[in-house]
Amino acid sequence: MKILGLIGGTSWVSTVEYYSKINHIVNQRLGGLNSAECLVYSLNLQKVKDFNDSGNWDATAQMIINAARKLESSGAKAILLCANTLHHVADQVQAQLTIPILHIAEVTAKVIHAQGLSKVGLLGTKFTMEYDFFKDKLRAKGIETIIPSEEDRQFIHHSIFEELGKGIFTDDTKSQYLSIVQKLEAAGAQGIIAGCTEIPLLIGSSDIALPYFDTTEIHCNSAIDFIFGH
């Protein structure tokens, strides 16, 4: 079993979910008391958010590079960035490493493509929804991306940092997300991507009629395939 390096803390809430899912899947496959061999480096989300809000993505990238190098030198054979937004600088970080970053958008695009969908709605931080780093991976698979209106994007972004990232999940916020999903469906979305690792903690596949792509779940499964050499 290969050792995984997890860069989390963005938020710690979803990082807990990553750690739990990865170990649960490993135990399901191997039984007994087996669990994943992994290293976790937890960033300070406030610092990351401050850099991102000011457009200083180079500083964010350097924080991740520093963390990734420590994980690599400690024996990690691959890196998981435990947040969709951090993948905006994934290529920049990858250039400084000799081990792979398992890219959340690439593995999600593969799963959507395998289901034959050509148009999906994307939920996430405003960076994930508005920048191209996620949408480009979908486009490479022939998948068109629809994002919510500006007002809805602001609502989602605010809720992620002021509620979900702090472990706060309310019925009102869930209801608003489901309303946004309905708008995306009306605009032609054939499926919905939970493109923020906290969103699946608020809404699940049972809450919507469309195919629902939990990027945390997909990312974790791809990591398990890697550590077992599949």
Q: What is the pLDDT of residues 58-112, one digit of tens each?
A: 999 999 999 999 999 999 999 999 999 999 999 999 999 999 999 999 999 999 9
Tell me, what's the pLDDT at 146? 97
Place 203 in a pLDDT band, splitting at 50, 70 and 90. very high
Q: Which domains does the chain have, with CATH numbers?
A: 4-103+218-227 (3.40.50.1860), 105-214 (3.40.50.1860)
pTM for this structure?
Answer: 0.92
pLDDT at 229: 87
Torsional sign, CA 7, 10, 13, 18: negative
How do residues 113-153 score in pLDDT, each as one tens digit? 999 999 999 999 999 999 999 999 999 999 999 999 999 99
Phi, psi of 170 (to 5 degrees): -120, 155
Q: Give yes or no for residue 202 having a pLDDT over 70.
A: yes
